[in-house]
A and B are shown apart, each in its own frame.
Chain A
Amino acid sequence: MLSILRNNVLTLFFIIVLAISFTTDAYSQYLINLMLVYVVVAQGLNLILGFAGMFAFAHGAFMAIGAYVSALLMNTLGVPYLIALPMAGLAAAFVGCVIGIPAIRVSGLYLAMVTIGVSEIVQWVLRHWKPVTGGTDGMLVASPTFFGVEFSDDFQSFYVIFVVCALMTVLAQFVIRSRLGRAFVAIREGEIAAQSSGINVARTKVFAFAISAFYAGIGGSLFSLTQHYINPENFNLYQTIMQFCMVIVGGSASLIGPFIGAVILTWLPELLRNAQAFQEIGFGLLLIVFVIFMPRGLAGLLISRNILPRERFSRAARLRKKPEASTSVVVERP
């Protein structure tokens, strides 16, 4: 019985979240919603950062695109949320591609810089394209309506967010275990080796950008449901850094990592509400301590202690990639 639970921690997570939602107050419900939104975004970032090893720093901007697209579709065109949500994801994925196609020419530092530049420009457009985005005033977001029922409060929007988060989790598992997911890991371990084993590196990188941005776009749209109001400041560099923290603290290149990261980074600041001076510093120190002492994050720690089961894809990937990884080191450091 317990081993079944151990092997289905994510299922357990969703069951517990659902169970809690029946007994909790608006405050906790709001935080649970926010946490599930961050789970979606962090899974997307984990795909590109953790699995594909690409330093994309633009997830705040992708979230913004998702949030604004779905809000505009609903507010001005009256599009139902069931259509606006995937559109939000697709719009972000499209922008991801547009950025991704030229950006794959650079890597490492340069990719980080280019994507930071892109997110600054997205911020600027959101602030200055007043007729459409409302500029710095931001805009109200209509509540979604399903079958004539308006889902307006935290308890109602929970069901939307919950279902979407679960679907996105299934999709992430599928992607990571697919051929594409293995190609991501291969590229991370060494582009030249990946290429020589028949992977189209450029195409895979654009896919990584697009899928990752799709997650951020969906997350951004869900985020707007928790806030009912969006403005450009919601999606600044701080938001992106927070997503990075979630992936790193939770454990990059792990399926369960984004969940652990999102839980901790949503709840820890709330638990530390009384330790104000610690808020900002604690956030920074957490990041440093984790990259130094636990580079594989909490998921890595729990797996190495055998508390969590080893994740299936990672064993496969490791066995597969070991020889290539070692050659890649030789190739990269002549």
Chain B
Amino acid sequence: MKSILASSGIAALALAAAIGLAPGSALAADPGITDTTIKIGMMGSLTGPAAMWGWPTINGAKMVYDKVNEEGGINGRKIEVVVEDDQCQAPLALAAAKKLLSRDEVFMLHGGSCSGAVLPVREVALKEKIPMMVLVATADEIVAQPNGYIFRAFLPGSYDGKIIADFLATAPNVKKVIAVGNTDAIANVRYPVLEESLKARDLEYLGLEPIEVEATDATAQVLKVKSQNPDAIVLVARPEASAVFLKDAAKLGLDVPIVGATVVDLQDLLDRVGDPKPMEHMHVVSFYKSPLDGEPMAPWVDMLKKYYPDDKVQAAAFYGTSGALAVVEALKRAGPDLTREGFVKAMSDIKGLDGGPMACTLNFATDDHEGCKSGSVWGMRDGKVTAIGDSWK
């Protein structure tokens, strides 16, 4: 009898235990807001292969919310953050977003570490009319118009192409430029804009020399590049592959200026290479106002140390900070009668907001949700990581 009972209930138990009861739909104004709280759902790759884009970036954004709460909140409401894991996988990211929206009933989303995982979530946010701030995903399509609800407050993937082209155009004796880079999603978004911008600046583009993300060796690439005699190289590779390429380039005497995309950080790269020589010619487009030990970054580094003392002070830690600053500003402007539509309107009206650690000022518009469009080029000058600005020095 007992076993038969158990059997008939197997599927039922498994499902019912997991599903629980659907929450009753609240008919209040917008979900996630009470008189004293605003609930924000954050998502990131907390575990899995992309975990280095998880907690570090989330905490860098969360510290802004922590500070706001400590100072009394916004219009009497404190920010309550719910964090979910998306492992940078689309199915899990969708599950996380749907959980945040239908279980936790958050007011808005702030998250996404990998473009491939965020793009399906984009469809949900637009359809359900949920405001969303992108955390660190860089693909242009995420924020591309038509899009009424999704915003981004750091330099998107393709925009560094223009910055690199403008920078190289001011460098002495640079006519022919070659790209070396990964062919994954992060890198691929950059090549078309890079090519276009180089041509607009009358520089010859010699094409792309692919390098594996997990390359152990770049000899073939370096020799191929050398045989084409470029005046400068654009390096669109993740830190591991970039370091491998730089080391082999130095060894084989490839000594033309190299400019890296925002996928690497110059200081981080210097730490990895561990030797200033291969880094001599390296430049990187950076999000930030200055290197992490520079004066403009000090308040943000201090804030991270205050709220998350265990976190490593690294470049990735502040990628999400400007987004949180924009969210806080929009929440303030939207006033006490907070609604999702009101928030989106307030966000679209933000102009000239300081980007915090970011080199840009944030400007949003109703038909343009990319808030940050400029970065700064860093290079090695006198063996030190130096913010150079937008033209060759």
Contacts and interface: CB of A to CB of B under 8 A. Distances in A.
A and B touch in the complex (CB under 8 A): yes
A127 B116 CA distance: 13
A6 B98 contact: no
B98 to A, nearest CB: 4
Mostly, the B contact residues are helix
A229 interface: yes
Interface in A1-52: 2-3, 5-6, 9, 12-13, 16-17, 20, 23-28, 30-32, 34
A231 B185 contact: yes
Interface string B257-299: 0000000000000000000000000000000000000000000
Contacts of B98: 26-27, 30, 154
B90 A234 contact: yes
A38 to B, nearest CB: 10
Interface in A279-295: 279-280
A276 interface: yes
A294 to B, nearest CB: 16
A267 interface: yes
Interface stretch (B7-15, B66-74, B342-350): B7-15
Interface residues of B, number: 47
A302 B84 CA distance: 34
Contacts of A26: 98, 101-102
Given A27-B99, A267-B14, A229 B7 contact: no
B87 interface: yes
B182 to A, nearest CB: 10
B188 A137 contact: yes
Contacts of A9: 7-8, 10-11
A86 interface: no
B11 A16 contact: yes
B215 interface: no
Contact of A306 (B3, B141, B189): B3
B183 A138 contact: no
B47 A280 contact: yes
Contact of A305 (B3, B4, B103, B185): B3
Contacts, number: 139
Contacts of A27: 95, 98-99, 101-103
A227 B14 contact: no
Interface in A260-312: 260, 263-264, 267, 269-271, 273, 276-277, 279-280, 302, 305-308
Interface string B118-136: 0110010001000000000
A302 B6 CA distance: 10
Q: How large is the interface on A (under 10, 10 to 19, 20 to 34, 35 or more residues)?
A: 35 or more
A143 B87 CA distance: 26
B7 A136 contact: no
Given A28-B22, A231-B185, A276-B47, A263 B11 contact: yes
Contacts of B127: 152-153
Contacts of B1: 2
Interface string B162-184: 00000000000000000000011
A269 B183 contact: no
A50 to B, nearest CB: 20
Interface in A37-90: none
A136 B236 CA distance: 15
Contacts of B96: 273
A199 B119 CA distance: 49
A280 B90 contact: no
A34 B189 CA distance: 29
For the complex of A and B, list the 3 residue pairs with the smallest distance between their C-beta atoms, beginning with the closest.
Answer: A136-B185, A5-B8, A267-B18
